[in-house]
């Protein structure tokens, strides 16, 4: 009990906030006493979330930028890590489309159950844990399997209490970081759709504060990303916040929403207001525009030097139509130099899954097993780069559970699975 009391000393937490560079520039509108009062009497550890948050923070600070792809499944995450990516992005759009707990296909409008993204975070972490167990049992230690996951919390699925609980669920599932957006949750849309309704600046600051409080209550230094959709939004719920006044048009809709001009100036104003409450800032954009990205970065960093930014390298953009080959190749390096430290392709998993399966199905219909064999030979060819899923039985842990069987049977088992398997004989 003495150790627990010492760990929970609010003054110690205050000193941590004041002295640790991790919290430089971060504002909390609550006290360490508030955190202690809300924590409960036992110290629950959230190892994966804490380890992931620490690792992602160091990557963001040590690398020119962190490049990530959106993963839809645990196996996609495994392949990303095996190929050398150091972080994973988990998109709410992808969860809505094909990985939500309602078992439905949805557009990106927060129609799925609120615990769906935490469920996929947990599933990805369990897949990475299995890959780690397989390697470890075979004496391989050259891959850091637990890549930090940055997960999509949409607009919080409600008010501040909903954001608080959702953030806790993300941490319990092992997310390293979470992003929230400044839309009205009940009208939430994908950033590349129309009809977006923003909440007042002060409302979203409370959402961010609720998420940070949840992380502090859990004792995890979660990465918190604030996204604004102001660049292309045209509606606002209320005129209560003076900071929103310069962008109001005076129009009202049949639902009672207020018209706004939107645009990059409004996005900049909001990002500056959100900056003290977030670790990274993200402006959702309609095109891959370096000049626009530079304008946003320079304006924000004049007010908050060194504040890190995030950029959605979206598959909603027609990259080859908007940029030439050289511009595409240099795009991320240029963004990194401006301070965009986390850059991600949100829907990479969705497009990779659909395109690869469509191509296989199309050629299989035409050529039969010739098409499948050709894909298999491409898998064999990829092994020289580190690809291992050609041996699908091994990939999912058959050999690992053979080792479990041998241990519990003192090495006398006659039912191990890989011995005399077709995979062992032919691959």
Q: Is 190 designated active site?
A: yes
User: In this structure, what are the phi and psi dihedrals at residue 332, rounded to the nearest 5 degrees?
Assistant: -70, -35
**CA angle, corner 391, sides to 390 and 393, nearest 5?**
135
List Cα–Cα distances, 43 to 1, 118, 217, 220, 332, in angstroms.
11, 21, 10, 12, 41
Q: Smallest Cα–Cα separation from 119: which of 94, 147, 143?
A: 94
Strand partners, 89: 70, 150
Please tell me the distance from the alpha carbon of residue 307 to that of residue 225, in angstroms, as a whole number: 11
Cα–Cα distance, 347 to 71 (Å, whole number): 8
- Look at residue 288 and give its three-state secondary structure: coil
Round to whole Å and give the CA distance between 204 and 145: 34
Q: What is the distance, to the nearest Å, from the Cα of residue 102 to the centroid of all Cα atoms in its chain?
A: 21
Q: Cα–Cα distance between 77 and 96 in angstroms, integer?
A: 18
Cα–Cα dist 237/355, whole Å:
39
Q: Round to whole Å and give the CA distance between 393 and 396.
A: 6
Nearest Cα to Cα of residue 277 among 202, 218, 219, 171: 202
Distance separating alpha carbons of residues 424 and 415, to the nearest angstrom: 15
The CA-to-CA distance between both ends of the chain, in Å, stands at 56
Residues written for the chain: 427
Are the C-beta atoms of 112 and 101 separated by less than 8 Å?
yes
Residues designated catalytic? 190
């Amino acid at each position: 009990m003495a150790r627990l009391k010492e760990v929970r000393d609010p003054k110690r937490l205050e000193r941590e906030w004041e002295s640790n560079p991790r919290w430089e520039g971060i504002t909390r509108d609550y006290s360490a006493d508030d955190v202690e009062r809300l924590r409960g009497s036992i110290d629950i550890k959230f190892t994966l979330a804490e380890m992931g948050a620490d690792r992602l923070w160091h990557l963001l600070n040590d690398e020119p930028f962190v490049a990530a792809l959106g993963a839809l499944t645990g196996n996609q995450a495994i392949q990303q890590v095996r190929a050398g990516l150091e972080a994973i992005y988990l998109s709410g759009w992808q969860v809505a489309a094909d990985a939500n707990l309602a078992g439905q296909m949805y557009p990106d409008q927060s129609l799925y159950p609120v615990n769906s993204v935490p469920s996929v975070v947990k599933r990805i972490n369990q897949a990475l844990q299995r890959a780690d167990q397989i390697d470890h049992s075979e004496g391989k230690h050259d891959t850091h399997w637990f890549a930090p996951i940055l997960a999509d919390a949409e607009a919080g699925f409600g008010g501040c209490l909903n954001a608080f609980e959702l953030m806790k669920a993300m941490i319990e599932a092992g997310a390293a970081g979470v992003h929230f957006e400044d839309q009205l949750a009940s009208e939430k849309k994908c950033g590349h759709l129309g009809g977006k309704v923003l909440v007042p600046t002060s409302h979203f600051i409370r959402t961010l504060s609720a998420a940070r409080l949840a992380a502090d209550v859990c004792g995890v230094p979660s990465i918190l990303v604030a996204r604004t959709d102001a660049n292309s939004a045209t509606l606002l719920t209320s005129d209560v916040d003076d900071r929103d006044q310069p962008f109001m048009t005076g129009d009202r809709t049949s639902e009672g929403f207020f018209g706004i001009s939107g645009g990059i100036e409004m996005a900049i104003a909001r990002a500056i207001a959100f900056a003290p409450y977030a670790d990274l800032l993200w402006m959702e954009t309609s095109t891959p525009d370096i000049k626009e990205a530079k304008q946003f970065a320079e304006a924000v960093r004049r007010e908050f030097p060194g504040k890190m930014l995030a950029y959605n390298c979206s598959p909603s953009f027609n990259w080859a139509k908007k940029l030439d080959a050289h511009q595409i190749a240099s795009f991320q390096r240029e963004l990194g130099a401006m301070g965009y430290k986390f850059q991600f392709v949100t829907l990479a998993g969705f497009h990779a899954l659909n395109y690869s399966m469509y191509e296989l199905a199309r050629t299989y219909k035409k050529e039969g097993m010739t098409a499948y064999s050709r894909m298999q030979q491409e898998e064999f060819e990829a092994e020289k780069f580190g690809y291992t899923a050609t041996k699908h039985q091994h990939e999912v842990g058959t050999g690992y559970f053979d080792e479990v069987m041998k241990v519990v049977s003192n090495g006398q088992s006659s039912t191990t699975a890989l011995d005399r398997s077709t995979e062992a004989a032919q691959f």
